[in-house]
Structure 1
Amino acid sequence: MTAAKLPAACETKDDVRSEIDRIDQSLLTLLAERHRYVTRMAEIKTDPHEAFDPVRIEAIIGKVRSRSLDLELDEDQAELLWRTLIDWNINYEKGIIAARKRAR
């Protein structure tokens, strides 16, 4: 595997695309890891309503917005991405919990 190039070192569109592809692979790996924890959380929770925790959600969004600013990332875009991820996870957890309850 070749070393990562800094954005300023990318001289062509192919250079930039190659770096984006590298980052996308890392993001997918991290999302898969995160998903395993979401799955475990769904196994621990006992009621589908537990999947939606507005206090926890807003705490997460607050951290994401703050950390985004520290990383010079638009906090509105980061929030949108995280809210989408959280919504997917809530629906996924609800499905697992409900299916387990039906199987009893």
Structure 2
Amino acid sequence: MSQTLPAADCSTMIEVRAGVDELDRALVALLRRRFDYMDAAARIKPERGAVRDEARKRQVIDQARAEAASLGLPEAAIGEMWETLVEASIAYELAAFDRR
């Protein structure tokens, strides 16, 4: 098994792509964990109308943007990604709520 190099140590695109692929697998695993919390929320919330919480959505996106800014990442792009992530999470949670 090959070892993925830190980005700063990569000297070929094969090494870069191996690192990106490893991170993508880790990100998907983290998303699985995140969506597990959506399953829990669907189980806990007393009514379907409680699934969409615009104030909480704004808080989550703002927190992601702030974290991105603190890490020197493009804040607007991260905000757009989190908008998509939160909307997908809401849709997933609604479907989970409807299944219960």
State TM-score, norm by structure 2.
0.89
User: Counterpart of 1:5 in 2: which secondary structure?
Assistant: coil
Gaps of 5+ in 2: none
Question: Aligned Cα RMSD in Å?
Answer: 1.5
**Hey, what does 1:61 align to over in structure 2?**
61
**What is the percent sequence identity of the aligned residues?**
30
Q: What's the offset of the Cα at 1:3? A: 4.5
Aligned residues: 100
Structure 1: where are the runs of 5+ without partners? Answer: none
* Deviation string, structure 1 residues 10-42 (Cα, Å, up to 9, x no partner): 111101000001111111111111111111111
SS in 2 for 1:72: coil
Q: Residue in 2 aligned with 1:35?
A: 35
Contact 1:47 1:98 in 2 (8 A): no
Q: Distance in 1 between matches of 2:8 and 2:89?
A: 36
Measure, in 1, the Cα distance between the counterparts of 2:36 and 2:95. Answer: 15
Cα distance in 2 for residues equivalent to 1:97 and 1:32: 17
